Amino acid sequence: MRFGSISLILSACLAQPLGGQATDSLALARRVVAAASLAAKEYALGVVPAGGQITQPEEVDEAKLFVQQAQFDVPGLPHAARARSRQTLTRIAQLLDSLAPPDSVSRVTDSLVAFITVTAGGPKIVEPLPTRPPSLERGAVVYRERCAACHGESGRGDGPKAKSVKGPPPANLTDPAVMGNKSLLDIFRRVAVGTPGTAMPEFGEDLSAEDRWAVASYVAAMQYGGSATAAIFAAVRHQIDSALARRSDKIAVDAYMTFEQVETAIRAKNGGLASELEGNFAWLRTRALKADDAERHTIRERLLADLERAERVVADRPSGASLFVNSFFLLIREGFEAILIVAALMTFLAKAGAPERRRDVARGAWIAVAASLLTWVLVELLVQVTPGQREMMEGVTMLLAAAVLFYVSYWLLSKIEVAKWTAFVHGKMQSALSSGSGAALSAVAFLAVYREGFETILFYKALFTSAGSSGVSVVAGIAAGAVGLVAVYLLINQLGLRVAMKPFFAVTGAMLYYMAFVFAGKGIAELQGAQLIPLTVIDGAPRIPVLGIYPTLESLLVQGLLLALAVAAAIWGMRPKVSGAKGDLLRSQ
């Protein structure tokens, strides 16, 4: 950005009234407050905290333009507010020219905002935050109509008019480096007053406050995959850090006001957590100025931990499509293996000259199916727990499912070779057949199929826990999987379909490991929600709920262990095979 040329443009604009400029004193007071606040914000991004050194000249230039814009609007303020506002803005301009520390600029700006708020209309000066999260759908409509031409449909600053605009190019709204320090209120204000010296116009008069909040929320969500809730939580965390770093009770109040947008949703699902957060925010507001380093660290850790739990409560639920696919896959995988086992048992009996014993295998398999269904009913009927116990049970169930899934995934991968699979099945059947007992044959089939049934119960219990209120998608996946299993059975038994065992075991093993990884992260999250294990937030760690990845030390350690075990299992599986006399000796031990 070239400050000299932009100043000339701005001066020319100031020589005559701006089109669409607000004419009433309340609107102008809001413009002055917004412009001054944005000036302090941009200046802080462009100068080192101690002052005296510029790191981003374009941010400092933009801050000066915002101050000039605020100075231009001063004559429209109520008479009692004009003189002091003009003097204070002049002081801010001098601080910017002298490269004063950003904290000094912020303090003077805060005093100006407080003064205008008192003299020009009280609390009405600051646009109230919406009582509920703004509509992303409406924000998308407003964005396409007003913003996409320059910023592009995806917000990357590549719209059809981007190359023809004068001055700096449109910002990349998906870049956390550009948007990460901007709260929802900052974006709202920028939408209202525009950016002087650039092609960014003001929309304060053209858009209603509701539409401005909607498009601001949509823009804020772009860097979080389109989630307005994630954007709100990110803004709250940033404001907490700013309040503690700058010892500002005003920013602490702003953080709570931002939090209020999701408080109702949190309270509806976990009233205790919402009350705990309210208490910790009160602690932040009352102690931000006076707390020592140890107390500020404690406040921050408690708030960040509670916010992490809260975001999981209101936002971290998998999509219906993802749940359907996982549910369908689980039933197909478990049922398919049961069918393969039964088919292998039947084939073995035919080759062993005992086809009449097939009924014993069929009897054991059907008893296992019935026992599996009965087990599921008993689990649902007998496990009656309180809400706190429920989180504990869900966490334990998910971790147990993760452990079994990991074991089964490795077991499948170890049976990739058809010869190994055949030897495994034949070994079990040979012992049962040699005993001459029909019960023994039924027992082999029962245990093989019931193992699959028990695993299925465990996995679906974890999947329903992960789904929350979206359990209908899991049920739909079960129904589709059942239809698929009937088709598989007919293909194998009626048409003699030969299954490619190696790709089947390789793919299903990898998919089961993926689900183990997800359940491990979510299981730790459930136990943290029940406050049975600590929750230590790691700054900058990724948050990918669809993979069960959360920015906490405890969950990342468990998932890191799974990764290490997977690498060890892969290395073990690729080890040189022992053959010959030495191999026979080892296998006999």
- Do 102 and 174 lie in a common domain? no
- Do 276 and 304 lie in a common domain? yes
Count of structural domains, the chain:
3
Query: What pLDDT was estimated at residue 501?
Result: 62
Question: What is the Cα–Cα distance from 180 to 237, expressed in whole angstroms?
Answer: 11
Name 544's bridge partners: 549
Look up residue 219 and give its amino acid.
V
In a domain, 579, yes or no: no
Name 537's bridge partners: 552
Question: What is the Cα–Cα distance from 192 to 194, expressed in whole angstroms?
Answer: 6
- Do 158 and 186 lie in a common domain? yes
Query: What pLDDT was estimated at residue 303?
Result: 94
Tokens of 403: 């452990």
- Do 252 and 324 lie in a common domain? no
- Do 114 and 140 lie in a common domain? no
- Do 395 and 380 lie in a common domain? yes
Among residues 173, 193, 174, 165, which one has the least CA distance to residue 66? Answer: 193
User: Where do the DSSP E strands lie in 326-421?
Assistant: none
- Do 519 and 392 lie in a common domain? yes
Domain stop point among 491, 510, 534: 534
- Do 101 and 229 lie in a common domain? no
Is the separation of the CB atoms in 67 and 32 below 8 Å? Answer: no
Query: What pLDDT was estimated at residue 494?
Result: 65
Query: What pLDDT was estimated at residue 557?
Result: 94
Enter the pTM of the model.
0.59
- Do 277 and 387 lie in a common domain? no
User: What domain range includes position 158?
Assistant: 136-315
The DSSP string of 366-389 is HHHHHHHHHHHHHHHHH----HHH
- Do 273 and 379 lie in a common domain? no
Domain stop point among 287, 315, 343: 315
In a domain, 401, yes or no: yes
In a domain, 7, yes or no: yes
Among residues 439, 441, 486, 417, which one has the least CA distance to residue 342? Answer: 441
Name 552's bridge partners: 537
Is the separation of the CB atoms in 142 and 76 below 8 Å? Answer: no
In a domain, 444, yes or no: yes
Q: What is the pLDDT along the chain (589 residues), one digit of tens a residue?
A: 333 333 333 333 333 333 333 346 777 888 888 888 888 988 988 898 888 899 888 889 889 988 998 999 899 888 888 999 999 999 999 999 999 999 899 899 989 988 888 887 665 556 666 656 677 788 889 999 999 999 998 888 888 988 888 878 888 888 877 886 677 778 888 898 888 878 888 888 888 888 988 898 888 878 776 677 787 888 788 889 888 988 887 778 778 877 877 887 888 778 888 889 988 988 998 888 888 989 999 999 999 999 999 988 887 766 677 788 888 878 877 777 777 777 777 777 777 777 777 788 888 888 888 888 888 887 777 655 555 566 677 777 778 878 877 776 666 555 554 455 556 656 666 666 666 566 777 777 787 778 778 878 878 877 887 776 667 888 888 899 888 888 877 776 666 566 666 676 677 677 778 888 888 888 898 888 778 889 999 988 888 887 889 999 999 999 999 888 888 877 776 766 555 443 443 343 3
In a domain, 552, yes or no: no
Query: What pLDDT was estimated at residue 167?
Result: 78
Domain stop point among 498, 514, 534: 534
Is the separation of the CB atoms in 491 and 497 below 8 Å? Answer: yes
In a domain, 141, yes or no: yes
Provide the 3-class DSSP secondary structure of residue 360.
Answer: helix
Among residues 274, 282, 280, 286, which one has the least CA distance to residue 303? Answer: 280
In a domain, 164, yes or no: yes
Among residues 123, 98, 114, which one has the least CA distance to residue 36? Answer: 114
- Do 249 and 388 lie in a common domain? no
Phi, psi at 19, each rounded to 5°: -65, 135
Query: What pLDDT was estimated at residue 383?
Result: 59
Signed CA dihedral, 79, 81, 84, 89: sign only: negative
Residues in the chain: 589
In a domain, 547, yes or no: no
- Do 52 and 120 lie in a common domain? yes
Tokens of 8: 């000339």
Phi, psi at 537, each rounded to 5°: -75, 135
Q: Which residue has the tokens 């409406």?
A: 138
Cβ within 8 Å of residue 418, ≥6 positions away: 501, 502
